Chains A and B, each alone.
Chain A
């Protein structure tokens, strides 16, 4: 009898599990900022939809309806979609390595994710780590007049697995941005 009840409970739990996961499909954007000098901590936890709604409705200089003006000179002819496609199709490996007295910069691709790290050696001694899954590459949408669709980029966060996107540590402040 006990065994029968246990089986029933297990089956019920298994049946309920997908429903429980499906119930909360909200993706959350998290931003944590810690300022070292004042010991101030700010934690923002906002649903992606709310952030997108705000971005799509902001209409200020250089930012209209989710599109940011990259303010590039007219004589600069950069084919951003081609660059993004090239990065996406590139095999894993080290792309950029810069070593200087001011900072070290590394760009490498590993297991379908682009990692950008900057190690500052002076001033704020900032250490920046940007993690860019390849799914994001397709979301970079550029307009005819050198604009980038930030809203479309953020919309693609919806398809990303949970994880950290940006991490900055420095003597002044630490910043962490992640999606869950």
Chain B
């Protein structure tokens, strides 16, 4: 029998495994925590490109699995007060109504120290705070919050909720905080 050259079984398995891992990695929801410490005298633009920063990307799935290892006893003392529980229907119905609301600027506050704007944009609530000492941008996925609150037992703190909300968030900036002392933190979904 003539020897035929080709890919070894090991190579094929390695290639398929690498391709599968790459695909799974790309399909996963990733969260990136981005911390910049800048010289404020150089730039006060929160979106300015600053070369020195710490970037910590991690897949939500891993964080999700990790929360499963937290013992239940850790949350035993973190009970939700009954006063909050009675407002469950109010909260859920308000969020459902908010989802049905047409896109618009819902709240606008102007003071000498800060400006606050809240916009409804599709399934996202965009909150912008421009204060003297900090600039905050927050994009809240309304549908994710509704889903998480519907699934929640409203009795104990559930870290799983955070991941349910994050999974529903659109790609891009989730939270960006820039303070006057030059610290800029952003959490991005990818």
- Residues of A with Cβ closer than 8 Å to B? 24, 26, 28, 38-47, 49-50, 53-54, 56-59
Cβ–Cβ contact A45 & B105, under 8 A: yes
CB distance from B82 to the nearest CB of A (A): 13
Nearest residue (CB) in B for A51 is B97
Cβ–Cβ contact A44 & B106, under 8 A: yes
Q: Known interface pairs A24-B102, A47-B101. Does A53 touch B94 (Cβ–Cβ under 8 Å)?
A: yes
Question: Which residues of chain B have C-beta atoms less than 8 A from A46's C-beta?
Answer: 101, 106
How many residues on B have C-beta within 8 angstroms of the other chain's C-beta atoms?
A: 21
B47 at the interface (CB under 8 A from A): no
B89 at the interface (CB under 8 A from A): yes
Cβ–Cβ contact B101 & A50, under 8 A: yes
Q: Which of A28, A38, A44, A53 contacts B97 (CB 8 A)?
A: A53
Cβ–Cβ contact A47 & B94, under 8 A: no
Q: Which of A24, A41, A45 contacts B109 (CB 8 A)?
A: A41
Cβ–Cβ contact B100 & A49, under 8 A: yes
Residues 52-100 of B at the A interface (beta carbon under 8 Å): 86-87, 89-90, 93-94, 96-98, 100
CB distance from A180 to the nearest CB of B (A): 11
Nearest residue (CB) in A for B110 is A41
Cβ–Cβ contact B110 & A40, under 8 A: yes
Question: Which residues of chain A have C-beta atoms less than 8 A from B102's C-beta?
Answer: 24, 26, 47
Question: Which residues of chain B have C-beta atoms less than 8 A from A41's C-beta?
Answer: 108-111
Cβ–Cβ contact B111 & A38, under 8 A: yes
A43 to B107, CA, bound (A): 6
Q: List 10 tightest A-B contacts by C-beta distance, closest first.
A: A53-B97, A57-B90, A43-B108, A41-B110, A50-B97, A40-B111, A57-B93, A47-B101, A53-B93, A42-B109
Can you pick out 25 interface pairs between chain A and chain B where the beta carbons lie within 8 Å of each other? Answer: A24-B102, A39-B111, A39-B112, A40-B110, A40-B112, A41-B108, A41-B109, A41-B110, A42-B110, A43-B109, A44-B107, A45-B105, A45-B106, A46-B106, A47-B97, A47-B101, A50-B94, A50-B98, A50-B101, A53-B93, A53-B94, A54-B93, A56-B93, A58-B90, A59-B90
A174 to B101, CA, bound (A): 27
Cβ–Cβ contact A54 & B90, under 8 A: yes
A40 to B112, CA, bound (A): 7
What is the count of residue pairs linking A and B with beta-carbon distances less than 8 angstroms? 60
Question: Which residues of chain B have C-beta atoms less than 8 A from A43's C-beta?
Answer: 107-109
Given A53-B93, A54-B94, 6 other A-B residues pairs in contact with their CB atoms under 8 A: A26-B102, A41-B108, A43-B109, A44-B107, A47-B104, A59-B87
Question: Which residues of chain A have C-beta atoms less than 8 A from B111's C-beta?
Answer: 38-41
A40 to B110, CA, bound (A): 6
CB distance from A48 to the nearest CB of B (A): 10
CB distance from A25 to the nearest CB of B (A): 10
Question: Which residues of chain A have C-beta atoms less than 8 A from B90's C-beta?
Answer: 54, 57-59
CB distance from A174 to the nearest CB of B (A): 14
A71 to B110, CA, bound (A): 36
CB distance from B186 to the nearest CB of A (A): 28
Question: Which residues of chain A have C-beta atoms less than 8 A from B98's C-beta?
Answer: 50
Question: Which residues of chain B have C-beta atoms less than 8 A from A44's C-beta?
Answer: 106-107
